[in-house]
Chains A and B, each alone.
Chain A
Amino acid sequence: MTVAVVVFPGTNCEHDVVQALDAVGVGAELVWHRDEDLGGADGVVLPGGFAHGDYLRTGAIARFSPIMNPVTDLAAAGRPVLGICNGFQVLCEAGLLPGALVANRDLQFICRPVEIEVTSKKSVLTAAAHIGEVLRLPLNSYEGNYVAPVDEIDSLEASHRVVLRYHGENPNGSTHAIAGLASAAGNVAGLMPHPERASEAVLGSTDGLVLLESFAASLVPA
């Protein structure tokens, strides 16, 4: 099984993601945003960074890159698609996840570890975690404040699609402290914190492993 890790101009977490996936036994290949296929990959990660300089809105340009066509097809086929930080923003702009991510409440770029709580197992990101489990992961974003229409938020909550929530404090003003959410089928998931930066003891935390292991376990050969 392999995972395609998408590189847009301005993506900067792709190598971290490849190394972290390797730590959970998953082979990964980088694919360029201009590519038109995923090389037979069984899943996709859109990593963090500043795709296309975050011009216009975060993810607004990236969603029209050619690679997003096979990513959308893979998502529609029920295969695992994960967006981390900027990748989460791209998934929202692309309509693969609802809502949008806007500037943090206090207009500060937040770059520090935060605590998040697992609130649902109904996703490729959290299936192997336990409800109520608190993870400490680095957050590294300016536009991490999740917003969506009230009825959309109600629907997400009612269907247990809010899979991760900030714990203790809400660092960026995100609606209902949402840190990560999933599609209705659970195969598309996005989160603002960086599990790949908490995947080896030398990094100071291995709390991200349970999320990456969930993702790894969701991969099945095409």
Chain B
Amino acid sequence: MRYRVSISRKEGLSDPEGSTTGTALRDLGFDEVASVAFGRTIVLDVADGTDPGRVDEMCRRLLANPVIEDFSVEEL
């Protein structure tokens, strides 16, 4: 089975890649863009029957840094 982990920057922390890309999109005429947030996606192939709680633990211990990042886990 396969899980997708999505990691995003915590609200309130600066995201220079996001703000720069947002400016570029508005320069291209996409005036509806209010903000752009960058993140990271990690796809994990794990043994069938793996509890999503195990993936949560992987995120807490290694894949995400709780000081600066939030994460979510979804089964694919």
Contact = CB atoms under 8 A, between A and B. Distances in A.
Interface of A: 56-57, 60, 64, 92-93, 98-100, 102-107, 145, 147-149, 173
A93 B64 CA distance: 10
B17 interface: yes
Contacts of A104: 16
Contact of A173 (B14, B62, B63, B67): B14
Given A92-B67, A100-B68, A105-B16, 10 more contacts: A60-B65, A64-B62, A99-B67, A103-B16, A104-B16, A107-B16, A107-B17, A147-B13, A147-B68, A173-B16
Contacts of B65: 57, 60, 93, 100
B20 interface: yes
Contacts of A64: 62
Contacts of B14: 102, 105, 145, 147, 173
Interface string B57-76: 00000110101100000000
- Dominant SS at the A interface? loop
A60 B20 contact: no
Contacts of B67: 92, 98-100, 147-149
Contacts of A56: 62-63
Contacts of B16: 103-107, 173
Q: Which 6 A/B pairs are nearest by Cβ-Cβ distance? A: A100-B67, A100-B68, A107-B16, A100-B65, A147-B13, A57-B65
A135 B17 CA distance: 31
Nearest to B68: A100
Contacts of B17: 103, 107
Contacts of B13: 102, 147
Interface string B9-46: 00001101100100000000000000000000000000
A92 B14 CA distance: 18
Nearest to A63: B62
A174 to B, nearest CB: 11
A198 B63 CA distance: 36
Contacts of B20: 107
B22 to A, nearest CB: 14
Nearest to A95: B67
Contacts of A106: 16
B43 to A, nearest CB: 14
Contacts of B63: 56
A117 B53 CA distance: 46
Contacts of B68: 100, 102, 147
24 contacts: A56-B63, A57-B65, A60-B62, A60-B65, A64-B62, A92-B67, A98-B67, A100-B67, A102-B13, A102-B68, A103-B17, A104-B16, A106-B16, A107-B16, A107-B17, A107-B20, A147-B13, A147-B14, A147-B67, A147-B68, A148-B67, A149-B67, A173-B14, A173-B16
